[in-house]
Amino acid sequence: MPASPPAPQTAAAAAAPAAAQARVSVREVTMAYGSFVVMKDLTFDIQAQDIFVIMGGSGCGKSTLLRHLIGLREPARGQVFYDGENFTAADDEGREKFIRRFGVMYQSGALWSSLTLAENIALPLQEFTPLSAKDIRDLAAYKLALVGLSGYEDYYPSQVSGGMNKRAGIARAMALDPDILFLDEPGAGLDPLSSRRLDDLILRLRDSLGSTVVIVTHELASIFAIANNSVFLDTETRTLGAVGNPSELRDHSDNPNVRRFLNRGAESESPVSSS
């Protein structure tokens, strides 16, 4: 069947102007490793400037979904659209244009240990822009300033804290001014204070740069502090358990697995009445 843009989900959406198009639309995506189906029939939207969390229990497929969103894996079925354009069906050249709009920080954080923080950020600028060495140096310093690391340009990753490494990783993901930042477990391994600082930074970046941020995490404090939208991957049913604002899902989802997860394992027997 030919690929078609995602259908509007409501009458209001149908009447909305093109500018209201979801930034990311996932349509009936099934993810599999060979014959092992991780999740099936995922359909949800991520809006521009969302801080959108992919959540669920260990091994449910959060990182796998992230890999599908950035094109590292192909859906076994279904499609992913960016601003209504079919990413899954794009040829290599078309796909490259999408990927240039993504900034990605992987779970490991993975800065090059033999390069300074500024050199780490300069790397994608050297590879993908025609900028002069001086402009690249200035831009790397600017990106580090955005994440609160002014003055640390010449430090090596081993000379700064874990939280600072994560912030530098975010600066590197932002090097090419992406529309969408993908962060895989950004708070992993951080103490609570550093983790909170990272949350504040993510909020500030969204507000000042207007980025859309997609985050894989299972840290509830972070989820409630920063996410306005989310998807819950349900290991039990191997499909989407809920989509929406995490605080609302915690109190009102009709899926007990969602409420249990968002209430730290202490499931409320029935949804809290919103009236």
Ligand X SMILES: Nc1ncnc2c1ncn2[C@@H]1O[C@H](COP(=O)(O)OP(=O)(O)OP(=O)(O)O)[C@@H](O)[C@H]1O
* Least separation in angstroms between CB 66 and ligand X: 8
Site for ligand X in 192-221 (CB under 6 A): 218
- The reply on whether position 240 binds ligand X by CB under 6 A is no
67 vs 252, beta carbon nearer ligand X = 67
CA angle 178, 183, 186 (to 5 degrees): 135
Residue 258 Cβ vs ligand X, minimum distance, rounded to whole Å: 15
Least distance (Å) between residue 107 CB and ligand X: 7
For ligand X, the closer CB: 56 or 169: 56
Pick between residue 33 and residue 142 the one whose CB is nearest to ligand X. 33
Contact between 142 and ligand X by CB under 6 A: the answer reads: no
The pair of structure tokens assigned to 98 is 């999408």
Name 181's bridge partners: 103, 213
Cβ proximity of 45 and 9 under 8 Å: yes
Q: Minimum CB separation from ligand X for residue 188, in Å?
A: 9
User: Which residues make Cβ contacts (< 8 Å) with residue 144, sequence separation at least 6?
Assistant: 117, 118, 121, 150, 152, 153, 168, 171
Interaction residues for ligand X, span 50-69 (CB under 6 A)? 56, 58-64
User: What would the DSSP string read from start to end of 77-127?
Assistant: EEEEEETTEESTT--HHHHHHHHTTEEEE-TT----TTS-HHHHHHHHHHH
Question: What letters, b where the CB count within 10 A reaches 16 and e where it falls short, cover 172-187?
Answer: bbbbbebbbbbbbbbb
33-52 binders of ligand X (CB under 6 A): 33, 38
In whole angstroms, the minimum distance from the beta carbon of 57 to ligand X comes to: 7
Nearer to ligand X, 235 or 255 (CB): 235
Rank residues 139 and 214 by Cβ distance to ligand X and give the closer one. 214
Q: Which residues bind ligand X (CB under 6 A)?
A: 33, 38, 56, 58-64, 218
